Amino acid sequence: MTDARAINDLRTRFQTDLAQSSTSQELQTVRDRYLGRKGGVIATLMKEVASAPADERPALGRLANELKRDIDLAIRERRTATGVGGQATSTVDVSLPGRGAVTGSRHPLTALREQIETIFAKMGFTALEGPEVEDEYHNFEALNMPRDHPARDMQDTLYLAEPLEPSAAPGPHNQPRTLLRTHTSGMQIRYMEEHEPPIRIIAPGPVYRRDNLDVTHTPMFHQIEGLLVGEGVTMADLKGTLEAFLRELFDPDTKVLFRPSFFPYTEPSAEVFIGCLFCDGVGCNVCKKTGWLEILGSGMVHAAVFEAVGYDPERYTGWAFGLGIERVAMLKYRVDDIRLFYENDLRFLEQFPA
Amino acid sequence: MRIQLSWLDDFVTVPVPVKEFASSLDMRGFEVGAIEPRPESSTANDTVFDLEITANRPDCLSVTGIAREVAAMYSTELRMPTSEMAPAEELVGGLPELSVTLEDADLCPRYAAAVAEVTVTDSPDWLVQRIEAAGGRAINNIVDVTNYVLLELGQPMHAFDFNRLKGAELRIRRAKPGEQIRTLDGQTRRLADNMLVIADGKRPQAVAGVMGGADSEVNQATRIIVLESAYFQPVSVRRTSKRLALSTDASYRFERGSDVSAPVRALERCCTLLRQIGASKAIGPVIDCYPDPKKPTCVLLRHKRIEYLLGQTIDSAFVVDILTRLGFTVEETDPGTWNVEIPLRRVDVSREVDLIEEIARHHGYERLPSTFPILDSPPPPADPRIERDRLVSQVARANCFSEAVTFAFIEHPVALPFVSDPDELVTITNPLSEQFTVLRPSLLPGLVGSVAHNHRRERHDVKLFEVATRFTRGGETRAVALAWTGAGTPEHWSQPSRNVDFFDIKSSVEQILNTLGVVTPVYRPATSAYLVAGHAAEVVTGNTRLGILGQLAPTVCVMLGLDGPDEVFVAELNLDTVAQVSSDRSNFRCAALPRHPSVVRDLSIIVASTLPASVVRDTIRSAAPDTLFSICEFDRYTGKGIPENCVSLSLRLTFREPDRTLTDTEVQQAVEEIVSALAASHQARIR
């Protein structure tokens, strides 16, 4: 039998026992004596409470549980103060490094690509990828660049010695794939061949040109192509969308300039510039004293391109743009040599936020 | 195209300062590359603008072409150069007669020529100065005048020495088999039979539209010349120029499309200038072979369409005015509709939209409003590959691998170990260098090359990964590759450091496959030309190989620039194959949590050290009841107390049943059955 007084006595006894124990071993002995599952003081007490008269049981039960909790807490507190293995130190050196390494870094080109994908995703654009080895038709002809057209000089092409084996499901215009795509614009054709407007896509990925390695050129680089087609799509929409994109990518106050240009697959065509990030538009070596940095090419999809994919250019209008990721990365992160992106020097990569 | 301001001023008055003028040219699509003062010019404050003329505007590859744009820009007067041909009686100065035969009107739709008696000498200073300001070199008064006309009007011209032409004739024909020509640059060139030439009675005297021949070159001894002014078919000139690897001011213009209406006008201008500088007195009649004269075409322009495309209304008066100033003939047919006649020089204009571009360009892109397109349909489903690749990248980075991006081309020798058959390699016909001759069949050569780069910079602990495309003749595949060398665990004061081993790289592979939903990948020994035997595995599900992992062979390390004792562990997974065997997450359903406790039994057995753990597992699985929930190898020990060639394997077996608590007896019975099965199959002994 037990009562409130007996429980109180147990508490006093525990406090004496606790006070007399100093090492962690002694502490463990006290813990076993009181909290041991079989034959521990508390375990015995609980059995007694269970057999107490029904009207006393709730009150006694509460007291017993309180005692159990207090004993447990007192021992834990004492143990922490005693330190690991009973040593005198009771603190850890929080300034020592944690175990394990920090996470690996993200390559700036993919980080930027994802950032751009995210901005366009918010505007309703879906990202898609296309083949890197292309045929003449999708890379040039359908984009209003027939064979022997001087516009082909703008993109020096790398050719395969032999075409790739034909893919399992050849499309209507698929030819032997004989070249490395010189731009991501071929994805415009591939997508429009398979889908009807409205269209809102971006197509990121590597592209290849026969350019010698130097501070601003690599034979492989990355582009993001954008395409929007529908009824009543205007060049003013192109301007508004690209301004919004560039202001989110760079700075809300970024100045944006559209200037006439020529691309065979767009008309009218526009080159897009942003106010120089290096001199604030005053004129410096980076912007060649113009105050502007060329950032992307764009324009209204050429009627010949629509005709190539079987769209009615009278009904549908659309625009497209293409942007070089390396160029943007160089400007945004102040990288002065494009080759750094391909050396994968960890001293370079680890600077970028994971 | 270098444009001298004082020359431009002959035809149009630029009403604004140089800087503002340059900026206006920029905004009309004529990028100003450089602005160069010309202190040596006789005109004060003279300037040369280096303009980037886009490939669609050959009509602007001349001073007058730019002048027309400038006049339209500032709504000001355009003064085209004048030519007065001499009265007919002056033409007959006892000049010999020339016969011109146009044999190939497909490749040369128009050929004009005239004979002139000349005095060859140096050009006057003003002429020399203009040629030089344009980036040319003065040669003699005759050649300089032909070049001057090219710069002024954009029409390439050529002068032959008449007396060097056999038979006093010119034949415009294709080259004959085996024909050669020594061009003005002194090179002897073999001609192909699809190339157009200008020949005399005997042999080619010029490569049409590209370069004249040295044999009929005008020199100090020349007394009579033939002036050529023609229109050559662009594709033909381009092919010839490419084939001969010879690009000239003339070929550059012809291949972009010259003005078919210009040859005679240019010839007349040339004659006027020759007389003006006193180089010629007697000039023969103009011979104009133009069998099929081209007529200007017309395009319908709708006012509404301008707004439909640009998103901005442009005043009708502006439309008519700007097109007229640019040389189009505009006639209103219905209200808001115009019939526009396109001058022949505008080879870039053939559709309504081409006219709209002209209007937008001169109206100014800066005046275009900024609007936002209406989203009127849900976006299409995302490309699953992009999401997958991002996920792989996240897992790799969480495993402390940094992301690399390498070139898709590699050297042929380093590609060889990575294909079973060299014919599988995709070769580049026109590589930039030996470094870039084949497309990578594997990401590993490039990635390990980057490891080597870091090694050379005294970085010994390197973990890199790349997600990218690989190429074989069969096609493209997307892959992830991992490369790990140096420490297996990061250095920390609490524990000794150790080098990376097979199980480190395997762990990363397991995590990637698990994240991508590959349920039961099987790892088995593999042989590979680039991995160390006995330290290499392939990972498969069913009969599908997902990838390969193991220690990179030292020979391959050396080939990729990594020497030294450090071991490199690599893995490469074909993500396209992985995607095919991944479980379909869209059908994922959550299972109820177990409501009854599980029972755990540890078992230590001694087996042959060559026995794979997977075989032990299989034996246990087949002997155990369904209540066996999991098997975990928690210790593997060889050494003291364990017989040679044997290993002690400790396994933790967890049993559970969803609807009840298992009894000791039944678990014990299960363990006994497992033990006897292990003993029977593998002579396993309980330790």
A167 lies in some domain: yes
Closest partner residue to A267 among B354, B393, B462, by Cβ? B354
Same domain, A116 and A37: no
C-alpha to C-alpha distance for B313 and B336, rounded to whole angstroms: 12
Residue B114 C-alpha from the chain's centroid = 45
Q: Do B380 and A126 touch (CB under 8 A)?
A: yes
Q: Which residue has the higher pLDDT, A96 or B344?
A: B344
Averaged pLDDT, A253-278: 94
* Per-residue confidence (pLDDT) for residue B139, from 0 to 100: 95
Q: Are strands B685-686 and B646-655 parallel, antiparallel or unpaired?
A: unpaired
C-alpha to C-alpha distance for B476 and A160, rounded to whole angstroms: 14
Q: Do A127 and B401 touch (CB under 8 A)?
A: no
Task: For residue B469, give the amino acid letter.
Answer: T
Same domain, A127 and A57: no
CB A27 within 8 A of CB A82: yes
Averaged pLDDT, B84-95: 58
Question: What separation in angstroms does the CA of B67 have from each of A112, B12, B35?
Answer: 43, 6, 17
Averaged pLDDT, B94-116: 93
Residue A83 has pLDDT above 90, yes or no: no
Find chain B residues with C-beta within 8 A of A341's C-beta: 405
Q: Do A159 and B459 touch (CB under 8 A)?
A: no
C-alpha to C-alpha distance for B226 and B114, rounded to whole angstroms: 6
Same domain, A210 and A119: yes
* Per-residue confidence (pLDDT) for residue B151, from 0 to 100: 97
Q: How many Å lie between the alpha carbon of A65 and the closest alpha carbon of chain B?
A: 26
> Do the interacting molecules here have an ipTM over 0.95?
no
C-alpha to C-alpha distance for B18 and B45, rounded to whole angstroms: 9
- Within 8 A by CB and 6+ apart from B467, the residues are B389, B392, B393, B396, B403, B478, B479, B480, B575
Which residue out of A255, A346, A349, A351 would a mutagenesis test of the B interface target, given it has the greatest number of B Cβ atoms within 10 Å?
A346
pLDDT tens figures, B518-540: 988 999 999 999 999 999 999 99
Q: Do B390 and A114 touch (CB under 8 A)?
A: yes
CATH number of the domain within which A236 lies: 3.30.930.10
* Per-residue confidence (pLDDT) for residue B88, from 0 to 100: 46
pLDDT tens figures, B47-86: 999 999 999 999 999 999 999 999 999 999 999 988 766 5
Residue A127 has pLDDT above 60, yes or no: yes
Could you tell me what percentage of chain A is helix, strand and coil, using 3-state DSSP and rounding each to the nearest 5?
Answer: 40, 20, 40
Residue B87 has pLDDT above 80, yes or no: no
A98 φψ region: left (φ > 0), alpha (ψ -120 to 50), beta (else): beta
Q: Do B403 and A97 touch (CB under 8 A)?
A: no
Same domain, A333 and A270: yes
Least confidently predicted of A76-90, A243-257, A267-281: A76-90
| DSSP string for residues in B57-84 | -GGGSSHHHHHHHHHHHTT----PPP--
- What's the whole-number average pLDDT of chain B? 93
Phi, psi of B3, deg, nearest 5: -115, 120
CB B46 within 8 A of CB B37: yes
A172 lies in some domain: yes
In B574-663, which residue ranges form alpha helices assigned H by DSSP?
Answer: 575-581, 613-623
Q: Does A261 touch chain B (CB under 8 A)?
A: yes
* Per-residue confidence (pLDDT) for residue A42, from 0 to 100: 87
* Per-residue confidence (pLDDT) for residue A136, from 0 to 100: 92
| Nearest CA-CA partner of B237 in B283, B187, B198 | B198
**pLDDT band of A1, cuts 50, 70, 90:** low
**Three-class secondary structure of residue A273 per DSSP:** strand
CB B671 within 8 A of CB B654: no
Residue A3 has pLDDT above 60, yes or no: yes
Phi, psi of A44, deg, nearest 5: -65, -45
Least confidently predicted of A13-17, B249-253, B671-675: A13-17
Q: How many Å lie between the alpha carbon of B425 and the closest alpha carbon of chain A?
A: 10
Averaged pLDDT, B286-290: 94
Tracing tokens 């023609």 back to the chain, one arrives at: B230
Greatest mean pLDDT among B37-51, B581-595, B661-675: B661-675
Averaged pLDDT, B551-566: 91
pLDDT tens figures, A29-52: 888 888 888 788 888 888 888 888
Closest partner residue to A104 among B256, B385, B401, by Cβ? B401
**pLDDT band of B89, cuts 50, 70, 90:** very low
Same domain, A163 and A120: yes
pLDDT tens figures, B184-234: 999 999 999 899 999 999 999 999 999 999 999 999 999 999 999 999 999
* Per-residue confidence (pLDDT) for residue A235, from 0 to 100: 97
Q: Do B357 and A150 touch (CB under 8 A)?
A: no
C-alpha to C-alpha distance for B213 and B289, rounded to whole angstroms: 22
Same domain, A51 and A140: no
* Per-residue confidence (pLDDT) for residue B72, from 0 to 100: 96
Residue A88 has pLDDT above 60, yes or no: no
Same domain, A165 and A286: yes
- What's the whole-number average pLDDT of chain A? 89
* Per-residue confidence (pLDDT) for residue B92, from 0 to 100: 53
pLDDT tens figures, A19-30: 888 787 888 888
Range of the domain at A16: 4-86
Same domain, A70 and A151: no
A103 lies in some domain: no
pTM of the model: 0.88
User: Among all residues of chain B, which has the CA nearest to that of A167?
Assistant: B475
User: Among all residues of chain A, which has the CA nearest to that of B20?
Assistant: A290
Which residue out of A93, A239, A321 would a mutagenesis test of the B interface target, given it has the greatest number of B Cβ atoms within 10 Å?
A239
Q: Which residue has the higher pLDDT, B497 or B355?
A: B355
C-alpha to C-alpha distance for A70 and A59, rounded to whole angstroms: 17
**Three-class secondary structure of residue B384 per DSSP:** helix
Could you tell me what percentage of chain B is helix, strand and coil, using 3-state DSSP and rounding each to the nearest 5?
Answer: 35, 30, 40
Residue B91 has pLDDT above 70, yes or no: no
A98 lies in some domain: no
Q: How many Å lie between the alpha carbon of A25 and the closest alpha carbon of chain B?
A: 25
C-alpha to C-alpha distance for B105 and B290, rounded to whole angstroms: 8
Averaged pLDDT, B125-153: 95
Q: How many Å lie between the alpha carbon of A253 and the closest alpha carbon of chain B?
A: 15
Which residue out of B372, B423, B433, B576 would a mutagenesis test of the A interface target, given it has the greatest number of A Cβ atoms within 10 Å?
B372
Q: Does A248 touch chain B (CB under 8 A)?
A: no
Q: Do B372 and A269 touch (CB under 8 A)?
A: no
Same domain, A75 and A149: no
CB A34 within 8 A of CB A40: yes
Q: How many Å lie between the alpha carbon of B479 and the closest alpha carbon of chain A?
A: 14
Burial class (CB in 10 A: 0-12, 13-18, 19+), A295: buried
- Within 8 A by CB and 6+ apart from A102, the residues are A354, B400
C-alpha to C-alpha distance for B522 and B524, rounded to whole angstroms: 6
Q: Do A240 and B381 touch (CB under 8 A)?
A: no
**Cα torsion A38, A44, A45, A49: sign:** positive
Residue A10 C-alpha from the chain's centroid = 60
The residues with which B439 forms a beta bridge, in sequence order, are B409, B426
* Per-residue confidence (pLDDT) for residue A328, from 0 to 100: 95
Residue A291 has pLDDT above 80, yes or no: yes
Judged by CB atoms within 8 Å, which residues 11-70 of A form the interface with B?
A: none
Domain-terminating residue out of A22, A53, A86: A86
Q: Do B235 and A148 touch (CB under 8 A)?
A: yes
Here the tokens at position A114 are 């994802």
Question: What separation in angstroms does the CA of B572 have from each of B399, B593, B601?
Answer: 15, 36, 37
A215 lies in some domain: yes
What torsion, rounded to 10 degrees, do the Cα atoms B486, B490, B496, B501 define? -40
Closest partner residue to A262 among B54, B311, B450, by Cβ? B54
| Nearest CA-CA partner of B98 in B31, B3, B164 | B164
CB contacts < 8 A, A to B, total 252
In chain B, the domains with their CATH numbers are 2-73 (3.30.56.10), 88-289 (3.50.40.10), 300-366 (3.30.56.10), 384-583 (3.30.930.10), 599-686 (3.30.70.380)
pLDDT above 70 as % of chain B: 99
Q: How many Å lie between the alpha carbon of B79 and the closest alpha carbon of chain A?
A: 26
Same domain, A253 and A323: yes
C-alpha to C-alpha distance for B213 and B187, rounded to whole angstroms: 10
**pLDDT band of A171, cuts 50, 70, 90:** low
Domain-terminating residue out of A55, A86, A117: A86
Q: Does A200 touch chain B (CB under 8 A)?
A: yes
pLDDT tens figures, A292-307: 999 999 999 999 999 9
- Within 8 A by CB and 6+ apart from A177, the residues are A131, A133, A134, A135, A160, A163, A164, A166, A167
Same domain, A149 and A296: yes
Same domain, A132 and A191: yes
Closest partner residue to A126 among B373, B379, B402, by Cβ? B379
**pLDDT band of B93, cuts 50, 70, 90:** low
Q: How many Å lie between the alpha carbon of B354 and the closest alpha carbon of chain A?
A: 7
Q: In chain A, what's the furthest Cα-to-Cα distance?
A: 108
Number of domains in chain A: 2
Find chain A residues with C-beta within 8 A of B463's C-beta: 104
Closest partner residue to B426 among A104, A164, A234, by Cβ? A164
pLDDT above 90 as % of chain B: 85
